[in-house]
Each structure stands twice: as structure tokens, then as C-alpha cells.
Amino acid sequence: QKAQIGVTGLATMGRNLARNLARRGHTVAVHNRTAARTKALVEEFGHEGTFVPAETAEEFVAALERPRRLVVMVKAGAATDAVIDEFAPLLEPGDMIVDGGNAHFADTRRREAALRERGVHFVGAGISGGEEGALNGPSIMPGGPAESYEALGPLLESIAANVDGVPCVTHIGPDGAGHFVKMVHNGIEYADMQLIAESYDLLRHAAGLSPAEIAEVFRTWNTGRLESYLIEITAEVLAHTDAATGEPFVDVVLDRAEQKGTGRWTVQTALDLGVPVGGIAEAVFARSVSGHADLREAARDLPGPAREATKDAAFADAVERALYASKIVAYAQGFHQIQAASAEYGWDVDLGAVATIWRGGCIIRARFLDRIRAAYEADPRTVTLLTDGYFAEALAEAQDAWRGVVATAARLGIPTPGFSSALAYYDSLRAERLPAALTQGQRDFFGAHTYRRVDREGAFHTLWSDGRREVEA
Ligand code: NBP
């Protein structure tokens, strides 16, 4: 019996994905560079479904029905190229390689172009949800040629998470679109986590609540409009007590956040595209600041205000509003980035569909995403989510509290780069005049970079050291 699909790379993610496929009734060929992993998978989980173990690349390819669907779940980077180089010569036109790793979308574009020459479909598929998602239903963001989705889509739909009967997978767009959208998903995840962290910090140090009390606040929030996986696990983490010391778990963890790089890629790519994603950037930098032990040590004794906790019952409500408003901004920025890349690369990404498949399976899954789906369904040409009817109203309703929270944080010396930059973005977009006019004047003064005028077409330059006459450039 031939296998409908094959998975090579059987570490945590690949193994769980193969099991998920087998549990859904698919016959799954399995392969790993080190054969012991293949053997272990079949021994431990063989009873869950039909696996066809393969020791060599040739055996693996021969085990697959045509068109062959070969999923690669190896370490992103050189390992992915090594695996592609090994398998591509064994494949025939119409076969497909699905890269489920966290590849950079530029690598995916390069690989897709190279394989297209041989008639092999290359599908860069973002997979979110960690190991639990891979096993029980991830959110899947496949890119690559649209026709590849005909043979691949039904299989992916059978293993993806499902919300209201809708599977959390859709064809995102050509070449690197899937991995791009997965990258931005992770960038938004960074921003969302940072905003939640700031909320915690404010509740702890401005409202004087204990971690256990804050866990309760998050539990309550999770029954409202903020309901999401990240809020849910935040409550779990805050309620946890360290067994060794009896202290709140959050107090015994070293406060230096690490990162694997997808947040950084999101910001680097946004800079290249010229898209302002301050919320995501601040989240990446906040992790970076936390990790600079040297800087923090050197600056520890710098003066700041006394932090008296207010014990104001309304404060938690204000933080909820600030969090919700800042979250709208972070998502608006992420979707703007996808929109810009889609235009740049001709991907024609359906933003509403992206919101739809993020409702389940992935780390940022939330009730909130239904609102984003609705916004793009109501108007697919939405320029920014901030002006969608529902979100505009939520921001208007939140803004007093949001400003109050940012002011309180500044007054007490509690760093809130996420809240503050989100508010600055909101105020920048709604400003009638920005001081960018002055920036243009300075640029013209020192570098003759020219400027445009509000009242006439054309580019102008002022002869700053020659009577300040204005000339047409
Ligand atoms: P790892 O990223 O730890 O990769 C281990 C796998 O890569 C093993 O199967 C290993 O084979 C294989 N491999 C390596 Br390393 N070099 C190879 C080479 N030159 N040729 C062939 N195989 C090679 O596994 P993972 O944590 O399961 O993640 C897999 C992918 O999924 C990654 O791209 C990751 O970024 C992505 N991802 C992970 C998560 C997560 O939560 N962990 C979530 C979403 C996406 P060996 O057994 O012979 O050493």
C-alpha cells in the first residue's frame, strides 16, 4: 500500500505531524536522517495508524503515491537545503515538497524558483501551534503554486485545527507567501506577549496586586473580549507556585527573555518594506533590553520616582482598555505588513482568510480574530484596521483609559514601550499635521534634499546660505 503523504524529519514537530496525519486515517511514510528516530516513532506510536517506515531517501520516495507529497520538518536553514538537494533528484514533475519548518520567506522564494525549473512544486508552509498543535491541530499557512493546493489542501484540512467547522488552513499565495504570513504571525505574537507582560507589570507595581491576584484578573479578562490562548496561559503561569521555594513561579524565573528570530525577521522585513510596525519592534527590543545584563547592571542606580501602588479598583479596568487598544494597533500593523508584502510580491493575499485561519491552532488564537475577519469581509480594501467600524469604536471608547495608563506608567517609572508606542502610532495616524514638515526643512537645510509644498506641485529647495530664496528643484 502506497502512502498518501510522507514526513521526513521526525524530531518533535515532524513526529507529531506524522502522528496527526496517521490518526486521521492517512497512510504516512516516515523518514529521518538518523534512522533510530523513525524506528522509535513506529515502535511507540505504530498502533495509532498506518506508518510506512523508510530508511533511505529512495525507499521513502518509492513509498509515496503520485503526485508525491513530501513534508520536510527539519531544522530551518542549511538542513532544509540539504534535504531538498537529497530528494529533488528523486522526484518527478507534479510531485511536491512541503517545507513545514520556520524558513525565512526569501529562502522559500529561492527554493520555489529552483524547484519550479524541475517541475516540482515547492510549498513553504508556516505551521503554528508548537508541538501540541502539530499533534492535535495546528494552524497551517501554505504558500507555493495554487495548483499544489488541490492535491495537498484536503490532507492539510483534515489535520488542521477547526473553528466553527472551518479548518485553520488556506492557500495563502505563491512562493514565499505562506512563510511570510507565518513570520508576521510570530511578530504579532511577540507584540501581544509584550503587551500582556506590560499589563502584568502595571497591575503588580502600579496597582500593587500579587501574582495570584493578577492571575484572577487575567482569568476574568479571558471571559470577555480579550479571550485568547495567550491570556489563558498567562493566568496559568501567574497562578503557578515554585515547588522548591514556595514563591510565585514568576518571581524565581530569570527576567531575560530569549528569542529564536522570527520576531527579528518581521521587523527587518518591515524596515525593507517601509512599513511601520512599532509594536512588534518594541516587543523585539524589549526582549533584547531584558537580555542585556551589562546595560541593566550599569544603569541600575539611575534615579526614578517612588513607586507607590494605588490600589485603585478601576485601574485594572483601565489596563484592560489599554491592552485591548494596543492590541488592535499591533494587529493592524501586522496586517498592514502582510498587505504591503502582498502588493510588493504580487501575492494577492486574502487578509480576511488569514484572520480566519488564525482563530484556532496557533499561539495567537483568539476571539478577537473573528473581528478582524469581519472587518476584511465588510471591506476587503480596508487600509487600516483602526478605521473599521468596530475597532474605531473600541479605540474611541478606550482612549481616555489608554492615555491614563501610559501617563501613570511614565509617572511611576514603569516601562511600557508597547502601550506607549501603540498610542503614539494611533496619534500619529490621526494627526492633521505631523512634525515631519520640520524634518523635511532640516533635510533640505543640511543636504539640499528638497521638499514639496502644501500649496503647489513640484519639488523645491531653499538656498539657505544664499538669501534663503526658494528655487524649483
Ligand atoms: P529541529 O528544528 O530540532 O530539527 C531536528 C530535525 O532536523 C531532526 O529530524 C534532524 O535529524 C533534522 N536534521 C538536521 Br538538524 N540537519 C539535517 C540534515 N542536514 N539533513 C537531514 N536532516 C537534518 O526539529 P523541530 O523542533 O521538530 O522543528 C522542526 C521545524 O519546525 C523547524 O524548522 C522549526 O523551526 C519548526 N517549528 C518548530 C516549532 C516548535 O514548537 N518546536 C513550531 C513551529 C515550527 P536527526 O534526527 O538525524 O538529527
CA of 159 to the centre of ligand 1 (A): 20
Tell the residue nearest (CA) to atom 12 of ligand 1: 74
Task: Kindly report the pTM of this predicted structure.
Answer: 0.97
Q: For residue 117, give every residue at least 6 positions away whose Cβ sits within 8 Å of its Cβ, in sequence order, or none.
A: none
pLDDT by 10s per residue, the chain, length 473:
899 999 999 999 999 999 999 999 999 999 999 999 999 999 999 999 999 999 999 999 999 999 999 999 999 999 999 999 999 999 999 999 999 999 999 999 999 999 999 999 999 999 999 999 999 999 999 999 999 999 999 999 999 999 999 999 999 999 999 999 999 999 999 999 999 999 999 999 999 999 999 999 999 999 999 999 999 999 999 999 999 999 999 999 999 999 999 999 999 999 999 999 999 999 999 999 999 999 999 999 999 998 777 767 789 999 999 999 999 999 999 999 999 999 999 999 999 999 999 999 999 999 899 999 999 999 999 999 999 999 999 999 999 999 999 999 999 999 999 999 999 999 999 999 999 999 999 999 999 999 999 999 999 999 999 999 999 99
Nearest Cα neighbor of 162 from 360, 18, 19, 20 is: 360
Residue appearing with cell numbers 503614539: 424
CA of 33 to the centre of ligand 1 (A): 11
Tell the residue nearest (CA) to atom 30 of ligand 1: 101
Nearest Cα neighbor of 454 from 428, 425, 426, 434 is: 434
Detail the residues annotated as belonging to a binding site: 9-14, 32-34, 74-76, 102, 128-130, 185-186, 190, 260, 287, 443, 449
Question: What value does the CA radius of gyration of the chain take, rounded to a whole number of Å?
Answer: 25
Other beta carbons within 10 angstroms of residue 59's beta carbon come to: 13
Per-residue burial over 381-411, b = 16 or more CB atoms within 10 Å of its CB, e = otherwise: ebebbbebeebeebbeebbebbbbbbebbee
Other beta carbons within 10 angstroms of residue 212's beta carbon come to: 12
The CA-atom distances, in angstroms, between 217 and each of 61, 204, 326 are: 53, 11, 18
Pocket lined around ligand 1, Cβ cut-off 6 Å: 9-14, 32-34, 37, 73-76, 79, 82-83, 101-102, 127, 130-131
| Residue 71, SS3 per DSSP | strand
Catalytic residue numbers read: 182, 189
Distance CA 100, CA 80 (A): 10
Other beta carbons within 10 angstroms of residue 331's beta carbon come to: 25
Grid coordinates in use for 243?
Answer: 515547588
The CA-atom distances, in angstroms, between 258 and each of 261, 284, 289 are: 9, 10, 10
